[in-house]
Structures are given as C-alpha cells and as structure tokens.
Structure 1
Amino acid sequence: MRILIATDAWTPQVNGVVRSLQNTAREAEGLGAHIEFLTPGDFRTLPMPTYPEIRLALATRAMVARRMDEIGADFVHIATEGPIGLLARRVCLSRGKTFTTSYHTRFPEYLAARAPVPQALSYAWLRRFHNAGAGIMVSTATLERELHGRGFHNIMRWSRGVDSTQFRPRPPAEQDALVASLPRPIFLSVGRVAVEKNISAFLDLDLPGSKVVVGDGPARAELEAKHPAAHFLGLKEGEALARIYASADVFVFPSLTDTFGIVLLEALASGLPVAAFPVTGPMDVIGEAPHDAPAGVLDTDLRRAAIGALDVSRDNARAYALRYSWRACTQQFLTNIQTAQDRFARLKAAG
C-alpha cells in the first residue's frame, strides 16, 4: 500500500509531530506499506507571523492536486490543519476520495494564548475539518473522550513510540558533561520554548539544585533574561539530547495543551521520572503506570510533583517506557487506515 501523508509540520521543524511522522514512515516499510509526504518543502513558503521557524506553503489547490497525482498514493492521511492540510482535504472531497486526519495539536488553546479568539469558534471549525474524513486519529483515551464530547466522530487511537535503544540510562562517562556537573538535583524540561508550552511555570518554581531547559523558540530570550540562574542549552537532537536526558534527575513537563508529549517517553526511557500537571498527555502516559511502580508524579502543584518525582525509581520509569514502540504505533496507524477504507466502502455501497 502507498500512503500519502499531507502535513504542514515538517523539517527543519523539530517537534513531536515531525518525529512521529518520520518514525511511522520508517517502520511502515517493514510492515508492507510505503509512505510519501506532501509538505511545505514541495512549494514556495513564507514564515508564519510571530513564529518564523514555521514555514507556510504558498500553494494552490491545483498545485496540491498535481503533486498528489504525481505521488499516486492509494490512501491519503491529513496530519495537520494548515495550508497543506486544507488543500489536500479540498482535493480529496472534490474527487470523492476517502481520507483520515489526525489531531496532534490543541489548536483552539494554542490560538487563544496568542489572540482573543473564542475556543468555541475554533472547535466548530475543527469539527467541520475533521468530521469530513473517514476517521480522526488521536493519541490518548483522554483526548478521545474530550473530542467525542465536542461532537467529533469516527475517532481512532494512534499512540506514540520511543527509540529505547538511543534513549536509555547511561553511566557517567556517557552523560552530558555540562549538565552532569551542575548542582543536584537537576530538573530538566525539553520542548519548544513558546508560550503554549508553559515553560514559565517550570522556571518560576522554587526548587533545589539546577533547572535546565533544552529547546528553542520565540519566548527563549525573554525567559533567559527573567531566569538568569536557569541553564538554557538551545536545540538538541539525537545522541546529544539522549545524553542530556540521562544526566538529569527529574523531567518536568509543564505543558497544559500537549495532546501526548513524545518527550515524556524519551525521558522515561532514559530512566528519568516525570513531574507534570494532571492533564491530557501526562495523565495518559504516566497516569497509566501501576500504582506500585509509578513512573512519575502528577499534581496540580507542579513543585510538589517535581519534589515527589525525586523519590520515583528510575528503573520504574525505564520499564514503563518499554511498553511503547514505534513498530506498534505504526501498526496501529495502518490498521486505522484499513478500518477507514472499509467504513468508506460500506457507506458508498449503501448509497
């Protein structure tokens, strides 16, 4: 099977959506499927206002249709609701071609953090966008229940995975020398340094030891100036990032809007207990861990969660992360596509 994924999130962006799509495409080859991508890289782009590292495609419906024809996929999955996703959706609808979508980002909350746009209006638009397809893929049970309550239909589960070979506990000789040398305990946060990630909630905490932030984004300069004692390391990937995870003591995840948070799995696989708010994402990832073998601490008081996570076993964190794999994640994605195709065929046959 040849699958086309239409996405506005793509390299050089570094985020969970991009990593999920890349890992899914890699694993799909071993499961009898080939994935091609329709991305902003196929067209001229312009920087997104207030967020220049995100490039928006300057494409037309005809241009997207032509590119889709060139790829000649058997099925289309629309990963994002940006210009690429909107145009791919229009092409599919105009041709009577079935497609699925995925809900990666809490767009209404993201937009409300930047502009006075009522969330009810944003959700109404998203319902129209997603319900036109044959299925909406979401990463967690909590998000599934929430979207179902907001009128979204045909919701399917598509979890996430982690490379547990790269992200693993490491002896001192394999840890990041700078981070490992900081006063302990070391509290780490990894992600885009932007308002919707709520990094300030972590940096404002009164914690012992050291605070480390990995990532870049529009809020970095302001937060660095406000929190000179924190250590901002910028964007890190691959082996460098894995070494940093293994060097810290607790992973603090302050986001209130993430739908999953792949960084949670990367931290856990590195033997790093998690401290987070009890919201979608953290509740579904570490909240499912056995009570007698917790992988972290969820609390409305983030400081209490961070301090409590110091007592969580690093072995528990690692063992829990091993439940997740990119192979299982990809099989789930492919099964969802088959289910959507079957559903569309039944509806078409019924008239």
Structure 2
Amino acid sequence: MKLLIATDAWRPQVNGVVRTLERVSEELGRAGVAVTMLTPADFRTMPMPTYPEIRLALALPGTIAKKAAAMAPDGVHIATEGPIGYAIRRWCLATARPFTTSFHTRFPEYLAARLPVPPKASYAVLRRFHNAGRGCMVATRTLETELAERGFTNLLPWSRGVDAELFRPRPDLRTTDRQRPVFLFVGRVAVEKNIRAFLELDLPGIKRVVGDGPAMSELRTAFPDAEFAGTLTGEALAQAYADADVFVFPSRTDTYGIVLLEALASGLPVAAFPVPGPADVIGDSNVGVLDEDLGKAAVAALAISRDDCRAFALRHSWAACARQFLDNVVTAQDLGRDFVPLAEAAAH
C-alpha cells in the first residue's frame, strides 16, 4: 500500500503535529506501508507573517498536484489546512479520489488572538475544508463533540503516543545541587500558548521555558527571573523534562498536547487549567492537577508520585497511534487490507 500524507507543518518546525507525523510514518513503514510525505521541503517557501519558523510552500496548486499524481498513491491523508493541504484537496476532488484529513490546531482561536477575525467565520472555512473528505481525525472526545456541534461530519478518533524510551525518569539528574522546585513549560513561545499566565504565577523555585517563537523577546524582557532555554530536542529535551519537578501547561486552546505525555513519561506531574486537551489527557487520573487557579495546581502537583506519572504514560504508544490512524484511512477510503496489518507486524 502506498500512502501519501500531505502537510504544511514540517521541519524545521518543532511541534506536536510534526512529531506525530514523523512517528506515525515511521511506524507505518515498519509495517510495510510505503509512506510518502509531501511537505514544504519539496518546494520553495516563504516565512509565514508573524510566525517565521513556519514555512509556506510557494507553488501553484497544479504544480503540487502534479507531484502528488507522480507518487501514484493508493490513499491520501491531508494533515493541515495550508497551501499544500488545499492544493491536494483540490486535486482529490477534481479526480474523485477519496481522502481523509485531521484537525490538529485551533486556528480560529489563534487567528482571533492576533487579528480581529471572529472564530465563527474561521470555523466555517475549516468546516468546508474537512467535510469534503471521507473522514476527519480528531485527538480527543471533547474535540470531537465540539466540532460535531459546529457542523463537522465524519469525525474519527485518533489519539497520540509517546517515546517512553527517550522520555524517562533520570534520577541522577535530580541529585544535582540546584534551586528547587523547577516548574517547566515546553512548547512554542507564542501568544496562543498563554505562557504569560505561567510566568506571572507566584511560585517557589524556578520557572523554566523550553521552546522558541514570536513571543520570546517580549517574555524575556517582562520576566527576567525566568529561565529561557530555547528550543531543545532529543536527549537534551528529555533531560530537561527529567530534571524538572512539575510540568505547567497554561494553554487553553491546544487540542491535545503531546508534551503532556512526554512529561508524564519522564515522571513529571502536570498542572493545567481544566480545559479540553489536558482534561482529555489527564482526566480524573492521579497524575496531574487541573484547576482554574494554576498556581494552586502547580504547588499541589508537587505531591504526586512520579512513578504513577510514568505508569500512566506507558499506556500510550506510537504503535497504537499508528494502528488507529491506518484503520481510519483504510476504512474511510475503502482501500482494503492488501498489506500486513500493524498488529500482525508488531507480533513478528
């Protein structure tokens, strides 16, 4: 089976969408699915206004469609609603080719935070985009309910995973002589992440921010006592999680938050607002504290067992995430199973 995944979110971006697509494509490849990624790396690009780390493809829809056609895929999945996503959607509709999509980001809320564009108008555009496909994958039950109420159809569940070998407790790091507790945030340093709400908290110890983005300069100036580590990846990122005491997730707009699973796999309890995303991931488990008083939640999370956090995260694997994704693609696009199912591949 040959599967084309079209995405406008790709390296050098460091975010949950990119990490999810990378890991899922790796897992699918191990199961014998030939995955081809169509990304901005295949074209000339320009930086997105106000968000330069996001590169937008500079290519005519026909040029993008021609490249996709040359790949001769059996199935097509469109991951984002950018220039590449729209071009592939147009190609699929013109050739009566079935496709699936996925809803990763609350762009209407993000756009409204920057420009006077009402979310209702943006959701109407996104609804038209996604409803043209055979299925739209969503990460949580809460998001599925919300989008259904907004008129989105053919919604399919697609959870997330974590690399529990990379992200793991490292007790030796925590024996170093440093000021504690360490409250950590990991993610894009942008207005929609609500990082200011974290940095304004009256907390003991250290507040550390890992990541980069358009709000970095402003937040560095406003909060000189906070530590800003910049973007970290791989082993350095894993060590940053393991060295902290509580993971603080101030976002009110994330649809999931892979960083939550990475933190938990590292033995790090979570403090967050009781909103969709963290509420879906954490729920009423004993691995985090959800409270409208984020400072209260952060302090209370210090008492949570790091072993419990690790055990909770181990329930989520990238292999299971990829199986669910492929089941959605195959079923929605009526492709048939002329390949080795992931469950069988994993058993060999």
The question of a shared fold, defined as TM-score above 0.5 by the shorter chain, is answered with: yes
Q: Does residue 1:249 correspond to 2:249, yes or no?
A: no
Query: Distance in 2 between the 1:189 and 1:53 partners?
Result: 19
Counterpart mapping for 1:5-44 below 5 A: 5-44=5-44
Q: Is the 8 A contact 1:31 1:331 kept in 2?
A: no
The 1:288–1:339 alpha-carbon spacing in structure 2 relative to 1, beyond 3 Å, is farther
Show CA shifts across 1:166-222 (max 9, x none): 1000122xx389xx5431111000000000111001000000111000000110111
Counterpart mapping for 1:115-154 below 5 A: 115-154=115-154
SS of aligned partner of 1:113: helix
Q: Is the 8 A contact 1:176 1:240 kept in 2?
A: no
Show CA shifts across 1:7-45 (max 9, x none): 000001110000000000000022231211111111111
Query: Distance in 2 between the 1:25 and 1:270 partners?
Result: 24
Matched with 1:333 is 325
Matched with 1:348 is none
Query: Distance in 1 between the 2:130 and 2:291 partners?
Result: 32
Q: Is the 8 A contact 1:224 1:232 kept in 2?
A: yes
Query: Distance in 2 between the 1:30 and 1:240 partners?
Result: 27
Show CA shifts across 1:206-246 (max 9, x none): 00111000000110111011101100000000000101110
Counterpart mapping for 1:30-69 below 5 A: 30-69=30-69
Q: Any stretches of 5+ residues in structure 1 without a counterpart?
A: 345-351
SS of aligned partner of 1:333: helix
Q: What RMSD, in angstroms, separates the aligned Cα atoms of the two structures?
A: 1.4
AA paired with 1:117? V
Query: Distance in 1 between the 2:328 and 2:103 partners?
Result: 14
Q: Does residue 1:262 correspond to 2:258, yes or no?
A: yes
SS of aligned partner of 2:104: coil
SS of aligned partner of 1:101: strand
Once the two structures are TM-superposed, the CA of residue 342 in structure 1 deviates from its matched residue by 2.9
Counterpart mapping for 1:157-306 below 5 A: 157-172=157-172, 175=173, 181-287=177-283, 289=285, 294-306=286-298
Aligned length: 336
Q: Is the 8 A contact 1:134 1:343 kept in 2?
A: no
Once the two structures are TM-superposed, the CA of residue 66 in structure 1 deviates from its matched residue by 1.1
The 1:128–1:181 alpha-carbon spacing in structure 2 relative to 1, beyond 3 Å, is farther
SS of aligned partner of 1:222: helix
Q: TM-score of the superposition, structure 1-length normalised?
A: 0.94
Q: Is the 8 A contact 1:100 1:133 kept in 2?
A: yes
Once the two structures are TM-superposed, the CA of residue 257 in structure 1 deviates from its matched residue by 0.8
Matched with 2:340 is none
Q: TM-score of the superposition, structure 2-length normalised?
A: 0.94
Query: Distance in 2 between the 1:190 and 1:126 partners?
Result: 28
Query: Distance in 2 between the 1:181 and 1:40 partners?
Result: 44
Q: Is the 8 A contact 2:141 2:280 kept in 1?
A: yes
Where do 4+ consecutive residues of structure 1 move more than 2 Å?
none
AA paired with 2:243? S
The 1:133–1:27 alpha-carbon spacing in structure 2 relative to 1, beyond 3 Å, is same
Q: Is the 8 A contact 2:104 2:138 kept in 1?
A: yes
SS of aligned partner of 1:217: coil
